[in-house]
Structure 1
Amino acid sequence: MGTQGPDQDQYARSNSHQITDDEKARQKEIDEWLPITGSRNAKWWYSAFHNVTAMVGAGVLSLPYAMAELGWGPGVVILILSWIITLYTLWQMVEMHEMVPGKRFDRYHELGQHAFGEKLGLYIVVPQQLIVEVGVCIVYMVTGGKSLKKFHDLVCKDCKDIKLTFFIMIFASVHFVLSHLPNFNSIAGVSLCAAVMSLSYSTIAWSASLAKGVKSDVQYGYKAKSTSGTVFNFLAALGDVAFAYAGHNVVLEIQATIPSTPEKPSKGPMWKGVIVAYIVVALCYFPVALIGYWMFGNSVDDNILITLEKPAWLIAMANMFVVFHVIGSYQIYAMPVFDMMETVLVKKMNFKPSSALRFIVRNVYVAVTMFIGITFPFFGGLLSFFGGFAFAPTTYFLPCVMWLAIYKPKRFSLSWWTNWICIVFGVLLMILAPIGGLRQIIVQAKTYEFYS
């Protein structure tokens, strides 16, 4: 009584083995269905244009305005520092993707769990990553709608005025279709088009500014009349710069699409793509920021294409390029969110992986981001607030904290100092920038009419 014979024991072992095999088969089926792990045949140039699309977004158009709030000296220093620090932290993430032999950290939160523990890693990374990705999608809804409206107003000056709300809805309608592309590699064509567009409208922005020449009554002093206004605007501008360097939130997910073997790890092609992307970022950011501010001084708008009104056909074309670019950017940032939602539904709540599930989840997400974008289209303030609150941690210092936790470099070594300098810079950015952004939102909200 109570003991098992050899046959029963063997049956139990074979049964548990069978369960394990079934679990493995189900896991494999789910991984092949999920957007991030569904396809691993990307080439290095996929990394290049995905990173350009993720990074060179609406943020580049607000850089001359950020320069106007920062001033020449601090503005140039912060732009260059941000470029160097974010390239360094991006390198860290590429290196950490496969630091455990035989395992790939395909998602930002998986790396966080390895560094901080199963539960703490999720609590630290997932809320910040979601704020960034959902925040970007909302801001891009607003940007896409505003650029469409600007295009319409330039091309058809005598037409009846149409509310921004309707333009945001037109922009969202594209995503109700594109969001059903299954994984990262399936949006490669959209992403390539978006990357080309970002380089195009950035070039138009700085070359049209240069062609206009320096404004006759140009002023480079701070625009705000009071000291407190100047300080708050300075802080908000820090958030604008942080928003411009936001690609880290999707970098591990992009790297997950590249094939990897012990002989040829994915970090080789990924890093090659990142270098190309960062060269393109420099070619877009620095000329737009410096030439835009040089030509217009502190009278520049929070979107330089609004300041540039002539030649009308060129500015209309640039606005259309922005629309095409943010279509691609929205998809790049939405894909990891789709992956999170679908993972929870399939793995935790045991829904069956299906087209119907994907159809409902993705349409609901697009509808929610559209509704929030229509309700709160405070473009400049949104950039600053999200830029400081969530982009600074995930971009500037969270990779450094993970690096220190995992690799434990020797105290006071070069690696130790480099990481701590990045952490201090990032923490200051995280604390200060949202203050300025929140004030901007409050100031703009005073005169705002809902659904106008």
Structure 2
Amino acid sequence: MELETGKSTIASYDDDERSKRTGTWVSASAHIITAVIGSGLLSLSWGIAQLGWIAGPIALVMFSFITWFTSNLLVDCCRDPVCGTRLSCYMDAVKSNLGGINNKFCGIAQYVNLVGVTIGYSITSAISMAAIKRSGCFHKEGHAVGCHVKNNMFSIIFGIIEIILSQIPNFHELSWLSLVAAVMSFAYSCIGLGLSIARVAGGSRSRTSLMGTTIGVDVTDWEKVWNVFEALGDIAFAYSFSNVLIEIQDTLKSSPPENESMKKATSLGVSVTTMFYISCGVLGYAAFGNTAPGNFLTGFGFYEPYWLIDIANLCIIIHLVGAYQVFCQPIFKQVEDWCLNRWPNNNFIKGSRPIKLPLFGDSTFSTFRLVWRTAYVITTTMVAMLLPFFNGILGLLGAASFWPLTVYFPIQMHISRENIRLFCWKWIWLNVLVVACLIISVLAAAGSIAVIAKDLQTYKPFTSVS
């Protein structure tokens, strides 16, 4: 029997004895676009308003190039440098290439950031849901009515949706959700672009300048400094996907080589993202000028064409539903693998049974997965309701993740794998890039913390209102 079925058995597994991967560069591109074009896009017009016509687009291009360059270094680290076995997560890549304390440092940076991103997406989705309700209220009751609504109910609705989707067993079964989310990101980006063009063509007299917001007119001198730093953090967050890059790469089939497919997906994903970012950021700034809002879709108001803005917010919600899963699945896998290794004979942890789901086909049900993942979603939802600071949270997350995950570890692993000599020209300029990005990240974190500290002065828990 083993001889007769050996060929089919071997064919159903990859070289690391795990189930055969089926992902392609197309599905990886969808995962990347879903992860990158998210709530970060909504704050870019505000960021360019702080930086101005010169520094704003330059910052977008600079972060784009750095992300593309370091991502190409990172994708080459997906296999163990000694034995060549496949690595399934960022921490494993760091452990195999650098070892020592780097592995723990990477784990803290990656998983704190992933948790933060899921909280940020919960905040953003609640704001978009509330915007739809306010829009309908204005259309029905008139523009003189305040139509203010609390965001808590919408955070709970988003949490319930994520509890259901979190039962998807693993990253490999998320391709369909990422494809839908990627389409939604294109949709609301195009709507935002169209509304910006219409506003500019309609004779918008919004004041802009080469240096952005003006000291003494729009902001004080210290507000200008902190806002510039926060804007850098927002842009860094907008390009953040290195924290799930290895996990996305682990979905790719082994032929053609996964690093080649991933480089193609990364180039496409970053190129498309940059095109949308520059278009939305620049046109958003042209439309609103130095008074650009933190979420540029809310700047178009809740009036006419209210239905088009509602569609844009609905697309944001659907996109974030998928993006939340892209960022939380690595957390789920890490915790579940750790628990299984820690208690291998515990039936509650290892027990699962096959089930058939309508539209989704065969799957597996695990009581442990249901309990743990539900608890995680509830916790992130509660924190989102507790700390509803949109721009400050985005900037802080971008600052905290950009340097270690996007710059430091990919470059250090590349130096180690290629055995680059100390103080040779390539070693010097790579480390100059590391230090320069560290300075930017520290400044961005300082700006975001200053903004959050200011918001906390008038903050009351669980009372966020749109």
Please state if 1:239 is matched with 2:233: yes
SS in structure 2 at match of 1:218: coil
1:218 counterpart (207, 222, 240): 207
Q: Which structure 1 segments of 5+ residues have no match?
A: 1-27
Partner of 1:116: 98
Q: d(CA) in 1 for partners of 2:292 and 2:77?
A: 41
Conserved in 2, the CA contact under 8 Å of 1:134 and 1:369? yes
2:259 counterpart (248, 259, 267): 267
Please state if 1:304 is matched with 2:285: no
Task: Return 139-148 or 400-409, whichever deviates more.
Answer: 400-409
The alpha carbon displacement at 1:74 in A equals: 1.6
SS in structure 2 at match of 1:304: coil
SS in structure 1 at match of 2:226: helix
Q: d(CA) in 2 for partners of 1:105 and 1:201?
A: 35
Aligned positions of 1:8-407 closer than 5 A: 40-98=21-79, 100=81, 101-117=83-99, 119-157=100-138, 158=140, 161-213=148-200, 215-220=204-209, 221-223=212-214, 224-260=218-254, 264-309=256-301, 310-350=304-344, 351=346, 352-354=349-351, 355-407=366-418
Change (3 A) 1:348 1:430: farther
Change (3 A) 1:39 1:307: farther
Conserved in 2, the CA contact under 8 Å of 1:400 and 1:422? no
Conserved in 2, the CA contact under 8 Å of 1:242 and 1:388? yes
The alpha carbon displacement at 1:40 in A equals: 1.5
Per the normalisation by structure 2, the TM-score is: 0.85
Q: d(CA) in 2 for partners of 1:149 and 1:125?
A: 36
Q: d(CA) in 1 for partners of 2:222 and 2:22?
A: 53
Q: d(CA) in 2 for partners of 1:102 and 1:241?
A: 35
Output one character per residue of 1:386-411: Cα deviation in whole Å (capped at 9) or x when no partner.
11122332113321122223323245
SS in structure 2 at match of 1:315: helix
Partner of 2:3: none
Give the partner amino acid of 2:402.
F
Conserved in 1, the CA contact under 8 Å of 2:61 and 2:274? no
Give the partner amino acid of 1:145.
A
Q: d(CA) in 2 for partners of 1:413 and 1:208?
A: 51
Partner of 2:453: 442
The alpha carbon displacement at 1:417 in A equals: 4.5
Q: d(CA) in 1 for partners of 2:204 and 2:79?
A: 52
Conserved in 2, the CA contact under 8 Å of 1:138 and 1:370? yes
Per the normalisation by structure 1, the TM-score is: 0.87
Give the partner amino acid of 1:222.
T
Partner of 1:17: none
The alpha carbon displacement at 1:39 in A equals: 5.7
Task: From the two aligned structures, give the one with the greater helix fraction.
Answer: 1
Task: Return 362-371 or 153-162, whichever deviates more.
Answer: 153-162
Q: How many residues align?
A: 416
Percent of aligned positions that are identical? 30
The alpha carbon displacement at 1:338 in A equals: 0.3
Conserved in 1, the CA contact under 8 Å of 2:44 and 2:277? yes
The alpha carbon displacement at 1:216 in A equals: 1.6
Q: d(CA) in 2 for partners of 1:208 and 1:68?
A: 18
Q: d(CA) in 2 for partners of 1:448 and 1:45?
A: 44
SS in structure 1 at match of 2:350: coil
Change (3 A) 1:403 1:123: same
SS in structure 1 at match of 2:174: helix
Q: d(CA) in 1 for partners of 2:118 and 2:19?
A: 22
Conserved in 1, the CA contact under 8 Å of 2:206 and 2:289? no
Q: d(CA) in 1 for partners of 2:437 and 2:61?
A: 14
2:427 counterpart (416, 420, 438): 416
SS in structure 2 at match of 1:448: coil
Change (3 A) 1:39 1:208: farther
Conserved in 1, the CA contact under 8 Å of 2:80 and 2:96? no
Output one character per residue of 1:413-448: Cα deviation in whole Å (capped at 9) or x when no partner.
564345224312321122111111011111122222
Conserved in 1, the CA contact under 8 Å of 2:78 and 2:86? yes
Give the partner amino acid of 1:234.
V
Conserved in 2, the CA contact under 8 Å of 1:197 and 1:325? yes
